[in-house]
Amino acid sequence: MQTKERLGKQDILRLFTQGCKKEKNIGMEYERLPIFSVTSKAVDYSSEFGVCNFLRAFAREENWDYITDDYNIIGLKQEHDTITLEPGCQVELSIKPEQTVQKVKEHIENLDKMMKPVLDKFGISLLSYGVSPLSTNKNINLIPKRRYAIMAKYLWGILSDVMMRETAGIQCCIDFESEEDAMQKFKIANKLTPFITAMFANSPIRGGVETGYKSFRALSWLNTDNDRCGFVGQIDEKFSFEEYIDYVLETPMIFINRDNKTIPINGKMNFKEFMNSKDFDAEIEDFELHANLYFPEVRLRNFIEIRNQDCVGKDLQYSILAIYKGILYNKNAISEIEELFKTFEYRDFSELRYNVPKSALNAKIQNYYAKDIAKEILCIAEKSLIESGEEKFLEPVKELTLSGICPADIIIRNWNGIWNKDIKKLVKYVSENPCCAR
């Protein structure tokens, strides 16, 4: 009888090298916060008008298939598209990658149009906002997905429950042609993230009060689990697929799946130790699961996943995609960004990452305000996008950034002004679809 070979680093490396492709697609994962339109409270999972029954009704209306966990409905799928639930019932749309931002927008708008009649029937609004505006994690139960209960017990940061149950973000996915191309894009994306987080900061009001932070969502990620969050590596050093894998291998494990059961590991070993363990036969699926429980600012898969943007609406969500597409798919733009960032070191980007949640575009990097660097970033992206006609998708964020403000600044001004701290006015504002409704 042939002995099964142990999982090795070369087996894992193939997961990444197989991602090399000539395409230049852009993908989007779009989380939003479901609230009851009448009360502004977070929608629960299991009540009569909760998210589970919404999914059932939508699946029946539009002929989508269930995604289940231990017989509980945790999402829907139809061809390449999914509607899934994050731990606190946040609704995430994940669509197949497209060649243009316009195609992504049309795809998302079509799904929204399909969902709206069912959402209205259930009295649910989906908020384009970064943190739950009224309900807090103590009043938001986890959905019945086995992994989330284990994660909630394991993640040790003081705001990990906020991250899991209250927050919503937007992730942008980018292709790469080769390992060299992937590493260049990976390092540039990491350096861009604190500026993009600042430009789209959109979570200043939480639990019905002003928090003193412009992105409370970004703050929650700073206080979730330093073993698996933040930058991977020094972002200026020579980097490779193998070195990225090494960081993942050194990260403590949370759990594994065996025979349709979830087995807690709870940080007792990292993946490298797990691969050499006598108690388990490590499988490639174990690494894939473990890598998905690794939450850096930019995550490497068989594509590049850029993670740390607050959920925004009013077409700002497509500005995020346009910035990354304009820069990361254009060699001249990459060169200009490298020139822009050449005087900054790892510690500068790291300090900026910690200062952005509170100050957003008014945070400083060395002697510069983030808003001044952000204007240069926009200019570089715009030049790149003119050839394809996609520069128009930058208009919503240009209006803000060129004025030195982010979405949170408008919300704070209105909250303390014409809204008179009325949570319903905030909810109405972040529920509106028309671009730049001020």
Whether 434 has a pLDDT exceeding 50, the answer reads no
Other beta carbons within 10 angstroms of residue 237's beta carbon come to 9
Q: Hey, which residues does 229 pair with through a beta bridge?
A: 295
pLDDT in tens, 31-57: 999 999 999 999 999 999 999 999 999
Cα(43)–Cα(389) distance, integer angstroms: 39
> At a CB cut-off of 8 Å and minimum separation 6, what does 312 contact?
128, 129, 130, 170, 200, 202, 320, 407
Residue 5, pLDDT score: 75
pLDDT in tens, 9-38: 999 999 999 999 999 999 999 999 999 999
Q: Do 37 and 46 form a contact (C-beta atoms < 8 A)?
A: no
Residue with tokens 């030049």: 383
Please give the structure tokens belonging to residue 92. Answer: 């995430």
Half-sphere exposure of 382 (CA within 13 A, CB side): 12
pLDDT in tens, 316-331: 999 999 999 999 999 9
Residue 328, pLDDT score: 98
Cα(117)–Cα(123) distance, integer angstroms: 10
Closest listed residue to residue 393, CA positions, set 323, 292, 319, 333 = 319
Whether 126 has a pLDDT exceeding 80, the answer reads yes
pLDDT in tens, 260-298: 899 999 999 999 999 999 888 999 999 999 999 999 999
Q: Do 319 and 383 form a contact (C-beta atoms < 8 A)?
A: no
**Residue-range domain boundaries for the chain:** 18-27+133-251+294-431
Confirm whether pTM is higher than 0.85.
yes
229-230 and 295-296 beta bridge pairing: parallel
Residue 294, pLDDT score: 98
End-to-end CA distance of the chain: 70
Residue 1, pLDDT score: 40
Give kind and range of the element (H or E) at residue 304: strand 304-310
**Which of 3.30.590.20, 3.40.630.30, 1.10.40.30, 3.20.80.10 would CATH assign to domain 18-27+133-251+294-431?**
3.30.590.20
Q: Which of 59-63, 181-185, 256-260 has the lowest mean pLDDT?
A: 256-260
| Distance of alpha carbon 343 from the chain centroid | 28
Q: Hey, which residues does 12 pair with through a beta bridge?
A: none
Strand runs (DSSP E) across 63-198, as ranges?
65-69, 72-78, 81-85, 91-94, 124-127, 169-174
Q: Hey, which residues does 41 pair with through a beta bridge?
A: none
Residue with tokens 């594509």: 303
Stretch 288-315: mean pLDDT: 97
Residue 433, pLDDT score: 60
Whether 436 has a pLDDT exceeding 70, the answer reads no
Using a pLDDT cut of 90, give the percent of the chain over it: 94
Residue 225, pLDDT score: 97
169-174 and 26-36 beta bridge pairing: antiparallel
Q: What are phi and psi of 410, to 5 degrees?
A: -65, -45
Closest listed residue to residue 369, CA positions, set 334, 320, 404 = 404
Whether 435 has a pLDDT exceeding 80, the answer reads no
